[in-house]
Amino acid sequence: MRWGAGAGGSRLVSGTMTIHRRLEERLAAFKGAQRALLFGSGYLANLGVVAALGETGTLVCSDELNHASIVDGCRLARGRTAVYGHGDVEHLRWLLDQAPERRAVVVTDSVFSMDGDVAPLEELAALARARGATLVVDEAHATGTVGPGGRGAVAEAGLDGEEHVVVVGTLGKALGAYGAFVAGTSALCELLVNTARPFVFSTAPPPPAVAAALAALELLEEQPERVDQLQANSRALRDELAREGFDVAGSSTQIVPLVIGDAHRAMAVCEAALAQGVFAQAIRPPTVPEGTSRLRLAVMAAHTKPELREAARTLGRAALHAGFRPGDGMPVAAAS
């Protein structure tokens, strides 16, 4: 009733409202940053940040398993892009040492969306600092799920507030709303206000979604035990799946992939699990490479231990029904 259903315009025209400022201030404090800036979606945020920072004469180094929005941001950047092996700090070091460019940006997911593993952020940040580079970290799957009070993998690595670290986060996953944000220095946000095209030329996020994200953030800060419960549930599900013979060693978070390999067999396992009441979505090419189709599980804090135990048993039965014996799958190697 106060702000309406939509913002009605871009942030720089008439779209900035009090509710946008409130959430940006709370997000900046939550992430330990000087300032935060709202975007319409995580996809738009990554496009805007990577393209704005990856100007002409800049080397953009991107993890090979980064999300598609980061990949597309690299494509829009005017600088040169170099892809380093997944989590391979030494490969990244070599790329930076060989680069003729005077400026560099390193961009990575923190929690990788298809594998559930976490980037070596401390090492990446130390290397970026030593080379005078900017480190951009997409915390889409870490905000609200990882780190002290759910503040993310950057905070868990002790990097919150570091001036050379830029954090991208989403409001549409753990916070259950819609939209995204970038957190960093005031100078960075001022740069984005003036040069990030998805910010300049997009209608501002709708006030109801912004207010919902603000309420969710307040709830998360008031009840940090939700994050502890989520992490405990994640460990419980991985333990139960391991007992069923699944290889879950690659995941350390609430995202747990069960690599099946063949796309048709992955769909068969998915459908067999759905028929028995377990929602385990099959992920196939082009989201992941050929031969690495999988079921991607996402744990919630609200799950109970008996539910997780029964889900693991159901998935074991579904795999056998589809002709896949757990333990026979391929090592996890995904591309978002």
Condensed to tens digits (0 to 9), the pLDDT of residues 13-29 reads: 999 999 999 999 999 99
Domain tally for the chain? 2
Domain boundary among 222, 251, 280: 222
Is 197 within 8 Å of 40 (Cβ atoms)?
Answer: no
Q: What is the CA radius of gyration of the chain?
A: 20
Could you tell me if 110 and 232 lie in one domain? Answer: no
Res. 285 pLDDT band, cuts 50 70 90: very high
The DSSP bridge partners found for residue 61 are 82, 106
Domain boundary among 222, 237, 269: 222
Name the helix (H) or strand (E) containing 218. Answer: helix 207-222
Cα–Cα distance measured from residue 322 to residue 140, given in angstroms and rounded to the nearest whole number:
33
Q: Is 186 helix (H, G, I), strand (E, B) or coil?
A: helix
Domain boundary among 222, 252, 278: 222
Query: Would you name the residues annotated as active-site residues?
Result: 113, 141, 173
Nearest partner of 295 among 277, 270, 272, judged by Cα:
270
Sign of the C-alpha dihedral, residues 29, 12, 140, 112? negative
Other beta carbons less than 10 A from residue 22's beta carbon = 13
Question: For strand 103-109 and strand 134-138, is the pairing parallel, antiparallel, or unpaired?
Answer: parallel
Could you tell me if 59 and 204 lie in one domain? Answer: yes
In a domain, residue 284? The reply is: yes
Cα–Cα distance measured from residue 269 to residue 260, given in angstroms and rounded to the nearest whole number:
9
Cα–Cα distance measured from residue 310 to residue 316, given in angstroms and rounded to the nearest whole number:
10
Question: CATH code at 218?
Answer: 3.40.640.10
In a domain, residue 63? The reply is: yes
Could you tell me if 181 and 305 lie in one domain? Answer: no
Could you tell me if 304 and 179 lie in one domain? Answer: no
Q: Give the CA-trace dihedral at 217, 219, 225, 228, to 10 degrees.
A: -30
* Per-residue pLDDT tens over the stretch 49-104: 999 999 999 999 999 999 999 999 999 999 999 999 999 999 999 999 999 999 99
Could you tell me if 302 and 290 lie in one domain? Answer: yes
Q: Is the pTM of this model over 0.85?
A: yes
Q: What percent of the chain has pLDDT over 90?
A: 93
In a domain, residue 334? The reply is: no
Could you tell me if 195 and 235 lie in one domain? Answer: no
Is 60 within 8 Å of 80 (Cβ atoms)?
Answer: yes
Could you tell me if 159 and 249 lie in one domain? Answer: no
Question: CATH code at 293?
Answer: 3.90.1150.10
In a domain, residue 4? The reply is: no
Other beta carbons less than 10 A from residue 271's beta carbon = 15
Is 84 within 8 Å of 57 (Cβ atoms)?
Answer: no
Domain that holds residue 290: 225-321
pLDDT value for 332: 38
Could you tell me if 56 and 158 lie in one domain? Answer: yes
Residue 219 is encoded by which pair of tokens?
């709830």
Mean of per-residue pLDDT scores for the chain: 95
